[in-house]
C-alpha cells in the first residue's frame, strides 16, 4: 500500500471523445489524472479543466505513443507529479479503413505501434508503480472492429489486428499480474458518436446508418464507455480480471 492519499490515473488519448469522458467519469476529490494527447493541447486542457472543476487534480502531457520512448515518459511524468500510479487506461489510437490490398508496411506498423505497442510499453513502464499502488487497475480500450466482421459493416484490417493483439495481451497480463493484485481488463466500444470536428471512422451519415444494425437502436456515447471503464477501475471491480466488456448496444452478439 502506497503512502500517498490521492488515487492517480494516467489516461491516454484524452483530449476528446472516449478518453475525455473517462477522465470526467474518474474525476473527483482525491483523484489526480495525467491527461494525455498526441497533439490536441486545446482539447486536453479542456479535459483537465473539467477534472479540476470536479474537485480533482489534473496535468497535461503531450506525446506520440507510436514513438517507443513516449510511454515511459508519460508514466514518469505521472509518478513524478503525483507521487505514484494506481490506474492506467490505454485509450489512444486511431481507426484505419485502408483495405488490406492497399496497406503498406509503414501503415500496418503505424497501427500496431500506436495501439498494441503503446499498450505494451505503457503497461511495462507502469507495472512497478501499479504494484505499489492502491486498488491497481489496467484497462485497455479496444474496438468492435476486432470482433464484427460482416458484409454490412466496414472492415478495418490494420486496426482490427492491432486491437485484437491488445486484447490477447490483456488476457496474458491478467494471468501474470493476478498474484500482485493488479487487474487487467478491456472495454470494447461499438459505434460511438464522436465529438464535432474530431477524426471519425465514419461520416455522420454513415454512423447514423449503423443505428439500424444496433439492437438498442442508437449510437453509443463516450459516456457509455466511460461508465464501464470507471466501474472496472473502481474498488468494486477487484474480483474482475482478464475480461472483455462489450459496450456496443448489442452490435456484437456472441453465443
77 is a domain residue? yes
Whether 230 is covered by a domain: the verdict is: yes
Residue 49 lies inside a defined structural domain of this protein: yes
* Mean pLDDT value across the chain: 93
Q: What's the pLDDT score for residue 148?
A: 87
Q: Is the pLDDT of residue 255 over 90?
A: no
The structural domain count of the chain equals 1
pLDDT higher than 50, residue 1: no
What are the C-alpha distances in Å from 199 to residues 2, 76, 210, 246? 39, 29, 18, 22
Residue 197 clears pLDDT 80, i.e. is over it: no
So what's the pLDDT on residue 4?
59
Q: Identify whether 253 is part of a domain.
A: no
Residue 244: pLDDT band (50, 70, 90) is very high
Given a cut of 70, is residue 189 above it in pLDDT?
A: yes
> Is 254 within the bounds of a domain?
no
Residue 251 included in any domain? no
User: What digits encode the pLDDT tens for the residues 51-63?
Assistant: 999 999 999 999 9
For residues 171-195, give the mean pLDDT.
95
More confident residue, 207 or 134: 134
CATH number of domain containing 26: 3.40.50.720
Residue 142 within a domain: yes
- Determine contact, residues 26/58, Cβ cutoff 8 Å: no
User: DSSP H helical segments within 90-241, as ranges?
Assistant: 105-111, 118-131, 157-177, 204-209, 222-232
Q: Which residue carries 494471468 as its cell?
A: 175
pLDDT at position 149 is 86
* More confidently predicted of 235 and 209: 235
Residue 212: predicted pLDDT: 81
Domain of 136 in residue numbering reads as: 7-246
Residue 205 pLDDT exceeds 60: yes
Q: Is 184 helix (H, G, I), strand (E, B) or coil?
A: strand
Q: Which of 31-40, 99-108, 211-220 has the lowest mean pLDDT?
A: 211-220
Q: Of 4 and 208, which is predicted with more confidence?
A: 208
Question: How distant, in Å, are the alpha carbons of 130, 134, 197, 239 from that of 235?
Answer: 14, 9, 35, 9
Residue-wise pLDDT for 73-94, tens only, equals: 999 999 999 999 999 999 999 9
For residue 66, name the pLDDT band (cuts at 50, 70, 90). Answer: very high
Percent of the chain with pLDDT over 70: 94
Task: Quote the pLDDT of residue 23.
Answer: 98
Nearest to 146 by CA among 48, 238, 248, 235: 248
Q: Is 97 helix (H, G, I), strand (E, B) or coil?
A: coil
Inside any domain, residue 67: yes
Amino acid at each position: 500500500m502506497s503512502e500517498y492519499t490521492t488515487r492517480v490515473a494516467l489516461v491516454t488519448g484524452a483530449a476528446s471523445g472516449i478518453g475525455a469522458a473517462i477522465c470526467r467519469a474518474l474525476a473527483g476529490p482525491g483523484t489526480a489524472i495525467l491527461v494525455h494527447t498526441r497533439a490536441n493541447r486545446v482539447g486536453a486542457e479542456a479535459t483537465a479543466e473539467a477534472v479540476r472543476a470536479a474537485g480533482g487534480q489534473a496535468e497535461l502531457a503531450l506525446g506520440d505513443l507510436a514513438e517507443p520512448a513516449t510511454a515511459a515518459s508519460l508514466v514518469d511524468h505521472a509518478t513524478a507529479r503525483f507521487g505514484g500510479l494506481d490506474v492506467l487506461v490505454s485509450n489512444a489510437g486511431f481507426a484505419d479503413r485502408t483495405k488490406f490490398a492497399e496497406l503498406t508496411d509503414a501503415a500496418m506498423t503505424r497501427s500496431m505501434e500506436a495501439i498494441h505497442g503503446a499498450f505494451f510499453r505503457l503497461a511495462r513502464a507502469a507495472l512497478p508503480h501499479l504494484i505499489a499502488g492502491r486498488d491497481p487497475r489496467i484497462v485497455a480500450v479496444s474496438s468492435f472492429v476486432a470482433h464484427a466482421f460482416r458484409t454490412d459493416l466496414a472492415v478495418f484490417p490494420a486496426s482490427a489486428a492491432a486491437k485484437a493483439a491488445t486484447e490477447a495481451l490483456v488476457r496474458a497480463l491478467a494471468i501474470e499480474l493476478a498474484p500482485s493484485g493488479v487487474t487487467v481488463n478491456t472495454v470494447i466500444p461499438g459505434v460511438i458518436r464522436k465529438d464535432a470536428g474530431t477524426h471519425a471512422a465514419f461520416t455522420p451519415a454513415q454512423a447514423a446508418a449503423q443505428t439500424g444494425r444496433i439492437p438498442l437502436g442508437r449510437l453509443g456515447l463516450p459516456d457509455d464507455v466511460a461508465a464501464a471503464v470507471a466501474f472496472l477501475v473502481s474498488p468494486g471491480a477487484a474480483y474482475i480480471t482478464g475480461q472483455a466488456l462489450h459496450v456496443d448496444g448489442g452490435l456484437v452478439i456472441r453465443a
